[in-house]
Amino acid sequence: MEIRLGWPGTAPTRLAVTMRTPGADFELAAGFLLSEGLLDPDQRPASVTYCRDASVTADQLYNVVTVELDSPPRRAPAERFTTVSSACGVCGTQSLDELLEATPDPLPVKSTFASQLVASLPGRLSEEQPLFARTGALHAAAVFDFAGNLLLSREDIGRHNAVDKVAGARLLGRATFDQDSILCVSGRIGFDIVSKAVRARLAAVVGVGGPSSLAVEVAEAAGVTVCGFAKGDRFVTYSHPERLTGPSSADRSFTDQ
């Protein structure tokens, strides 16, 4: 899917092309802009539409999404935007520098959630994966509140796309949640996943896999709680365990590899 971005005085131009699972395309486009720091978490686009330019062929009609803003983006799009892999989101030295420079103040610990909740979330996420049940080939992301209520979930062939879709759903007013929410992902917790949680101002990330050392570093700096290897009744907390109440595993068994 091609994502185009325009604002007053600037005609829509290609920003990125990503391999995705069709569905929630508008959410994906909006969430991608948020993840890349072009929009603020409370900045709703003026419009998100499928492009109907004469240059778009019939077979690509629903593969080009145009996002129009009513004011310039919060920063200029990076030159690196071209093709985005479905296997990885924000990558590279330039994107890391951009994220760390633009990272807002660390999220304060305003409230806590029960440690017993953490290990149950991946199983509950799997119950919201009908396409994975049919194919065994898709990832998913979901947002839960601190009481454990499921707020929304999305599937996509790309882990980062699934996260962009849930973030975009809030941006477009299709879901409501605040920073005291938990992002649960179906795979490992890479830097790209944590960076998207930081951009969306989500206080916690839970995954069935482990985090990278860079993901933990960013989470520590941004005030985000990261819990990995969540399965059965066990998990490992890697950053900001003060958000958890009750018994928890606070091992920091990550490496720099």
According to the model, what pLDDT value does residue 94 have? Answer: 54
- What pLDDT was estimated at residue 100? 58
Q: Pairing mode, if any, of strands 150-156 and 139-145?
A: antiparallel
Cα(58)–Cα(77) distance, rounded to whole angstroms?
A: 28
Residue 172 has pLDDT above 60, yes or no: yes
Residues 6+ apart with CB under 8 A from 202: 143, 179, 181, 182, 183, 224
> Does the structure show a pLDDT above 50 at 255?
no
Provide the 10 A C-beta neighbour count for residue 127.
11
Reported confidence tier of residue 59, pLDDT bands at 50, 70, 90: confident
Q: Looking at residue 242, what DSSP letter applies?
A: G
Q: Which of the residues are catalytic?
A: 88
Q: How far apart are CA 101 and CA 42, in angstroms?
A: 20
Quote the pLDDT of residue 102.
55
Using only the alpha carbons of the chain, give its radius of gyration: 18
pLDDT one-digit tens code per residue, 224-240: 999 999 998 899 999 99
Do strands 225-231 and 204-207 pair parallel, antiparallel, or not at all (unpaired)?
Answer: parallel
Provide the 10 A C-beta neighbour count for residue 154.
27
Please, which pLDDT band fits residue 81 given cuts at 50, 70 and 90?
A: low
SS3 243: helix
* Overall average pLDDT of the 27-39 stretch: 95
What pLDDT does 147 receive? 97
**C-beta of residue 68 within 8 angstroms of C-beta of residue 47:** yes
The confidence score (pLDDT) of residue 61 equals 78
Task: Give the pLDDT confidence score for residue 154 in this predicted structure.
Answer: 97
Which three-class secondary structure state does DSSP give residue 20? coil
113-245: what CATH class? alpha beta
Please report which confidence band the pLDDT of residue 79 belongs to, taking 50, 70 and 90 as the band edges. low
Mean pLDDT confidence for 64-92: 72
Model-level pTM?
Answer: 0.88
> Distance (Å, rounded) from C-alpha 246 to C-alpha 76?
44
Output DSSP code: residue 108: P
pLDDT score of 88 more than 90 = no
- The secondary structure element, H or E, covering residue 181 is strand 181-185
Structure tokens that stand for 23 in this block: 């569905």
pLDDT, the chain, mean: 87
Per-residue model confidence (pLDDT) at position 197 = 96
Distance CA 5, CA 13 (A): 6
Among residues 25, 124, 103, which one has the least CA distance to residue 65? 25
Q: Does position 89 have pLDDT exceeding 70, yes or no?
A: no
Q: Which of 218, 165, 193 is nearest to 32 (CA)?
A: 165
**Domain chopping of the chain, boundaries:** 2-98, 113-245
Residues in the chain, total: 257
- Reported as a single tens digit per residue, the pLDDT across 101-146 is 556 689 999 999 999 999 999 999 999 999 888 998 899 999 999 9
Q: Give residue 232's pLDDT.
A: 86
pLDDT for the residue 117: 96
Say whether pLDDT at 39 is over 70. Answer: yes
What are the residue ranges of helices labelled H in the chain?
Answer: 25-35, 92-102, 115-118, 121-126, 130-135, 159-171, 191-200, 213-222
